[in-house]
Amino acid sequence: MKILHISTNDTGGAATATIRIHESLLKIGVVSTILFLNKVNYSGPYGINYDGIQNNQLQVPEKPALTLRNYLVERFFHSFSNEECRIKNILFEKHAFKLQIEQDTLKKFEVFSSPYSDYDITTTEAYKNADIIHLHWAAGFLDLPSFFIKNTKPVVFSMHDENYILGAFHYEGDSIRNITEYGQLDSEYLKIKKESYTRLSNFSVITGSNWVREKVLNSSIFGKGLIQKIHYPVNPSRYRYLDPTEAKNMLNLSSDRKVFLFASENIANYRKGFDLLESIIEHEEFQDVQFLVMGRPNQRFDRENVVFLGRIMDEITMPIVYAASDYYILPSREENFSYAMIESLCCGTPSLAFNVGDHKSFLEDNQLGWTANEISSEGLMEILMKAKKNQYSFDRREVANRAITFFDELKVANQFLDVYTALN
């Protein structure tokens, strides 16, 4: 049985999940390949770059988008104002998705992507040789309408976010906040996806959390298909318990101060909630705490209690950072299932998070962390203050042992194998 994974990029949380699923499958003897549109960093086995047909003809949605005024200006004057032209260029290009358009865009939405692309993965030898197609985060790469017309193979969807069940947005909160400005085009894209999925016959949908699984079930967009939860895999020889004191010494951190870690690929990402942590960092009660901040910064804090780590990509440094942290802080407003949280737990570092997604049931029921019910700086401050004052008690070795029972890569690989076997 030959599995082909489809991923736009080889970096980012969803790409990391894709790569680790792929590599865990290889370890149990499954023939697995990843087809990337943008393979930049990945040098592991059986990762290839797209070499198929590219269609550069722009496909514009047939119906008017954004506002009636935009449509009338284009229809009768064949032109747009500068602002309208900018919006058209951003949203109508079928091959494009934008992570950031202006300085404050991520406060509005994280990603807005089209179901169209310039690429046809069915023309590649990798597709032709595969038995099952496993779709991951494929925005800007997978052309949904043409793919589901041409595809003849069983399909697995991995829901790394909510985009497969939404129109253009990747999280429901983004869709709700932007319904006035982008709602019409978002609805058109959702119709296109629904029509594309009607051609599905042999498929399965995999989610990383019960939260997303319920959203998929409630959307009914996939019709009758197998929808199940499988956790992301972790290599226990890389992400494992390390002595916290030794880890702090390696990073030159004080051993007598609490260390809180925040990590996000882009710190400005509104969904990740760093803005809710900022006032806590500056609060007088937390000046004796060390905050490690990891990711691409949108600003720098000139404060003694903040250490900016930048972006860390390697799997040697990351376990040390997790082990050196007393708690991993996850103030996300929406979250499927954070890979950074998974890794930190496997290193024995408990998590403090908001009660979104599966956080409360997973963390508290398994004694792996604690959650705040109120999504606010005040709610976050309350649980951080309790952690600072040692009101929570966690055995870090036990945290690591419990976590790996959920995320061990060989266990997860066999769960995916069961899915593939049922489809083949």
Token pair 């319920």: residue:
214
The two three-digit tokens of residue 349, written as one number: 């570092």
Angle, CA 344 vertex, CA 239 and CA 416 arms, to 5°: 65
- % of residues, the chain, pLDDT over 70: 86
Maximum average pLDDT range among 21-30, 108-117, 261-270: 21-30
Q: What would the CATH number be for the domain defined by 244-406?
A: 3.40.50.2000
Whether residue 31 has pLDDT greater than 70: yes
**pLDDT of amino acid 24:** 98
CA–CA dist 293, 287 (Å, integer)? 15
Domain residue spans of the chain: 2-59+94-233+410-423, 244-406
**pLDDT of amino acid 113:** 84
**pLDDT of amino acid 268:** 84
Mean pLDDT of 297-316: 81
Average pLDDT, the chain: 87
CA–CA dist 223, 220 (Å, integer)? 5
Mean pLDDT of 111-118: 84
User: What's the N-to-C CA distance of the chain in angstroms?
Assistant: 8
CA–CA dist 108, 385 (Å, integer)? 30
**pLDDT of amino acid 298:** 64
**pLDDT of amino acid 312:** 86
Mean pLDDT of 257-276: 92
**pLDDT of amino acid 259:** 97
**pLDDT of amino acid 182:** 78
Pick the CATH number of 2-59+94-233+410-423 from 2.60.120.380, 3.40.50.2000, 3.50.50.60, 2.60.40.10: 3.40.50.2000
pLDDT in tens, 310-350: 888 888 999 999 999 999 999 999 999 999 999 999 999 99
Question: What is the SS3 assignment for 328-344?
Answer: EEECCCCCCCCHHHHHH
**pLDDT of amino acid 281:** 94
Q: Do domains 2-59+94-233+410-423 and 244-406 have the same CATH topology?
A: yes
Mean pLDDT of 207-224: 90
CA–CA dist 165, 150 (Å, integer)? 21
